[in-house]
Chains A and B, each alone.
Chain A
């Protein structure tokens, strides 16, 4: 079956522009996560959805970052007024949430965002 897909794979933008990053999770997975990974670092949690609702958005760095998952499947991470410091690989993951377990997360290949 298809894994988690992310589009685009690469995005180059100019400082101050708006970008949208898309994630298609594995069909049937109710949980969806966004992470940001900078060079030499591990994935940094941004936001977690359970169904359509953002269950935990405590990792979003500021109000320029926003994510939606309107139908409980595809999610879009939106970044307004991009800054050079936003340059990173943005990873999406999905999982089946199981009672009593965090559940294995399945990651997409990531979107590499470069802000010039």
Chain B
């Protein structure tokens, strides 16, 4: 039972354009969402997060949008840079139930120069 789904295994974007990575979840008890970025042979690194009391959080070129009614979140990267090429994982947790975090399968982003 995949509680966090990233349906696009890969995405290719031209440098300077917007990258939009999508994530859907099924557990309505999730109340904290995170995006992690992973380069080969390294562990994931935290990128940005959002609490369920918000619908948007922005940090520089990265913005996360949360649509609770649709159980959907997205990560926007503007402008995309070649160094952004990595695997991006969406993750969710139910804070009131502890800090067990469920990850999606990831989307590999290619930013072409």
Interface residues in chain A, defined as those with a beta carbon under 8 Å from any beta carbon in chain B: 4, 31, 33, 35, 40-45, 48, 50, 55-56, 58-59, 91, 93, 95, 97, 100-110
Contact B106 A42 (CB under 8 A): yes
1/0 per position for B1-44, CB-CB distance to A under 8 A? 00010100100000000000000000000001010100001111
Contact B95 A101 (CB under 8 A): yes
User: How near does chain B come to A98, taking the closest CB pair, in angstroms?
Assistant: 10
Instruction: List 8 tightest A-B contacts by C-beta distance, closest first.
Output: A107-B43, A42-B103, A104-B46, A102-B93, A102-B32, A43-B103, A42-B105, A107-B44
User: How near does chain A come to B59, taking the closest CB pair, in angstroms?
Assistant: 12
Alpha-carbon distance A110/B45, docked complex (angstroms)? 12
User: How near does chain B come to A32, taking the closest CB pair, in angstroms?
Assistant: 11
Contact B45 A48 (CB under 8 A): no
1/0 per position for B41-55, CB-CB distance to A under 8 A? 111111001010000
Contact A103 B99 (CB under 8 A): yes
Contact B32 A101 (CB under 8 A): yes
User: Which of chain A's residues have a CB closer than 8 A to the CB of B36?
Assistant: 107
User: How near does chain B come to A63, taking the closest CB pair, in angstroms?
Assistant: 19
What are 5 of the A-B contact pairs (CB < 8 Å)?
Answer: A42-B104, A58-B100, A91-B44, A101-B95, A104-B46
Contact A104 B49 (CB under 8 A): yes
When C-beta atoms are compared, the residue in chain B nearest to A100 turns out to be B95
